[in-house]
Chains A and B, each alone.
Chain A
Amino acid sequence: MSSSSHFKRPPLQQSGPVRNSMAPPANVPRQGAPQDMFTTAGAAVCGVLENGVRTAYAVIDDYMRRGQEAARTIFNDPNRRGYMSDDRGSFPGGFNPGGGFGPTNPMNMLAEQWMLMMRAWSNACAGFVPGQWQGMNPFANAGSHAATVTVSISSSCQVEVTANLYPGADIQALVSEPLRAEGSAASIDSASVVREGFNVRITVKVGDKQAAGVYRGNIRRKTDGNVAGELTVVVR
């Protein structure tokens, strides 16, 4: 078959000058330029190599740009997290929340139905858990929420608190075990861990007679009791 009879994609629209592989990108904010990338690879810089990498940068720049444009078109929000960041416009019947499905193949339709079912299921489950997501769409602000931890300490002596929360702990209902001493001292029973939205509040009360030492306890999920982190208190 001759090449003239082949489907041809429209020529790519370059949003900026093709990046020289040794220079910083023109249209994407970056923290630095890859001046040392060839020396770190142990490869000699030459025209052939430079052209190859330049082409690769042009390809990935264009791919990213199309994705960002598609995301802006669909959500009018360039900061939305990356799910829609590819060029979904090129996908007939691409995922279209609230807009139904366009013509597409059965597997894609199944995949999208599946995702919608999972969202509905997740929302339904969330309704039974106090303090779970308040909105209909649990993903709406997922990218903009980093977990924060607030620590309240009530003590007459110097105390150091370290909390190690495993991934996902900030979206679980939590409970703290009593903090047991490494030695024979009495445990600290008054530690509590409460999740409030995307904030985890840790409260530790240390009595005047609490012996100096290191006290440790697991933070567990209320729902199934699995360990969600560790709490360490050092009383000096």
Chain B
Amino acid sequence: MSSNERGLVSSILREYGEATRALLFQYLPSVEPRRYLYDLVADYPRRGGRSFRPSLCIATARAFGTPIEFALRTAVSIEMIHNAMLIHDDVEDESEQRRGKPAMHVAEGVPIAINVGDMLSLLAMRPLLENRGILGPEISLRILEETERMARESAEGQAFELGWRRDNVIDVCEADYLLMVLKKTCWLATIHPSRIGTLIGARGAIDLDRCIRFGFFLGAAFQIQDDLLNLEGDAVAYGKELSGDIREGKRTLMLIHLLEHASRTERERICTMLGQARGARADDDIRWVLERMQSYGSIHYARQVAHGLAGAAQYEFSQLYGHLPNSRDKQFLAALPEWVIERN
């Protein structure tokens, strides 16, 4: 990835992220109860983030020549739903940190965190309803339908992961993992923004199912890179506890690879550790699993797969958006597959 491409991606993420956040805060009520609800609703969005999802939505619509304001409300909704899901994910995963600060449930308690997540999800409906004034009723309702589907897919994917962890399922294979990622990560992170951007840009003239392949490969590469950063990233830049995925027992590609290649004894030790409650997993065990992943080449393997998926995303991009006239937004979209596997 050239420095120009990297600069372009950073610039667009910053530009569209700022536009999204500026409008997002207008949708957050400044009324009581502030202490237990509305101040907290603004907490995760205020912590920043890359604004990858709303930027993808806006850039896709703009690549068709559509003004930013036509996609902005939907981008706001996507960012709000993303933050709402993060609050609930952090509870479900028992995560301790989010974007460099204590997770919502750590700071405010689980009941309040769940309620804040619920409210943020509901608030995300308002910009979608207000789409009607600028996009018309048909496109607006289709976006609502798309949002409902995305929410279902995401919950189904999350159900896979939570179920595997609760029941300590250890025979998860790579295809299981990819299907889980398709639903849990890709629908909200890449497929949905891509579909909505295309819907707005092409006004329904393009079959949105064509966006699924591009979104899947891009999102899967994104997720694997995220999992790699969890093991090897910079703790400050990453914003979450390193090796948190091992501690949380997440079935990542690296863990699946390790379980497939470990000796019987090692496999039993891993299974025992995964069967323990999160808090009972010893630091020594976490370090040992990480060391075994390195030793068996699991991390290298996952990185290679992420590269392959990014390549597939580039191919699907050319099939889906290759016909569009050249523009800054199209260049941004084209650069994303490499960006997702190079980011830190």
Q: Name A's B-contacting residues (CB within 8 A).
A: 1, 3, 5-7, 12, 21, 30-32, 34, 36-38, 40-43, 46, 48-50, 52-53, 55-60, 63-64, 67, 81-83, 85-86, 91, 108, 111, 114-115, 118-119, 122, 125-126, 138-139, 142-143, 145-147, 166-172, 224, 226
Q: Which residues from A are CB-within-8-Å of B337?
A: 41
Residues 297-329 of B, flagged 1 when their CB comes within 8 A of A and 0 if not, give 000010011011111101100010000000000
Q: Which residues from A are CB-within-8-Å of B168?
A: 1
- Contact: B209 with A82, CB < 8 Å? yes
* Contact stretch, chosen from B35-43, B89-97, B108-116, B129-137: B129-137
Query: B171 in the interface, Cβ–Cβ < 8 Å?
Result: yes
Residues 178-192 of B, flagged 1 when their CB comes within 8 A of A and 0 if not, give 110010000000000
CB of A224, distance to nearest CB on chain B (Å): 7
- Contact: B175 with A53, CB < 8 Å? no
Q: Which residues from A are CB-within-8-Å of B208?
A: 81-82
Question: 26 pairs across A/B with beta carbons < 8 Å?
Answer: A30-B319, A31-B319, A37-B314, A37-B315, A42-B1, A43-B310, A48-B301, A52-B308, A57-B312, A60-B182, A64-B212, A82-B195, A82-B208, A83-B146, A122-B137, A125-B137, A138-B137, A143-B204, A143-B207, A145-B204, A166-B66, A167-B139, A167-B200, A168-B70, A168-B135, A168-B138
Q: Which residues in window 261-308 of B have CB below 8 A to A? A: 275, 301, 304-305, 307-308
Q: Which residues from B are CB-within-8-Å of A119?
A: 141
Query: B101 in the interface, Cβ–Cβ < 8 Å?
Result: no
CA of A81 to CA of B204 in the docked complex: distance in angstroms? 9
Residues 191-214 of B, flagged 1 when their CB comes within 8 A of A and 0 if not, give 000010000110111011100110
* Contact stretch, chosen from B18-26, B147-155, B230-238, B240-248: B147-155
Q: Which residues from A are CB-within-8-Å of B52?
A: none
With A32-B319, A40-B315 already in contact, the answer to whether A56 and B309 are too (CB < 8 A) is: yes
Taking a contact as CB atoms closer than 8 A, the residue among A30, A32, A171 that contacts B138 in the complex is: A171
With A63-B182, A168-B136, A226-B133 already in contact, the answer to whether A85 and B311 are too (CB < 8 A) is: no
Query: B338 in the interface, Cβ–Cβ < 8 Å?
Result: yes
Main secondary structure of the interface of B (DSSP, over half): helix
- Contact: B213 with A55, CB < 8 Å? no
CA of A168 to CA of B163 in the docked complex: distance in angstroms? 42
Query: B144 in the interface, Cβ–Cβ < 8 Å?
Result: yes
Taking a contact as CB atoms closer than 8 A, the residue among A5, A67, A115, A172 that contacts B136 in the complex is: A172
CA of A6 to CA of B163 in the docked complex: distance in angstroms? 9
- Contact: B314 with A86, CB < 8 Å? no
Q: Name B's A-contacting residues (CB within 8 A).
A: 1, 61, 66-67, 70, 133-139, 141-142, 144-146, 148-149, 151-153, 156, 163, 167-171, 174-175, 178-179, 182, 195, 200-201, 203-205, 207-209, 212-213, 216-217, 220, 275, 301, 304-305, 307-312, 314-315, 319, 337-338
- Contact: A60 with B338, CB < 8 Å? no
Among B61, B213, B217, find the residue whose CB has the most chain A CB atoms closer than 10 A: B213
- Contact: A53 with B212, CB < 8 Å? no
With A147-B203, A167-B201 already in contact, the answer to whether A58 and B175 are too (CB < 8 A) is: yes
CB of A101, distance to nearest CB on chain B (Å): 14
With A6-B167, A55-B174, A56-B217 already in contact, the answer to whether A166 and B141 are too (CB < 8 A) is: no
Taking a contact as CB atoms closer than 8 A, the residue among B61, B200, B209, B304 that contacts A46 in the complex is: B304
**Closest A residue to B163 using CB positions:** A7
Extra A-B contacts (16), CB below 8 Å, given A41-B310, A64-B212, A118-B141: A34-B315, A38-B308, A43-B308, A49-B305, A55-B174, A55-B175, A59-B179, A60-B216, A60-B217, A118-B144, A139-B141, A146-B203, A167-B61, A168-B135, A170-B203, A226-B133
Taking a contact as CB atoms closer than 8 A, the residue among B135, B142, B209 that contacts A139 in the complex is: B142
**Closest A residue to B307 using CB positions:** A43
Taking a contact as CB atoms closer than 8 A, the residue among A1, A6, A126, A166 that contacts B137 in the complex is: A126
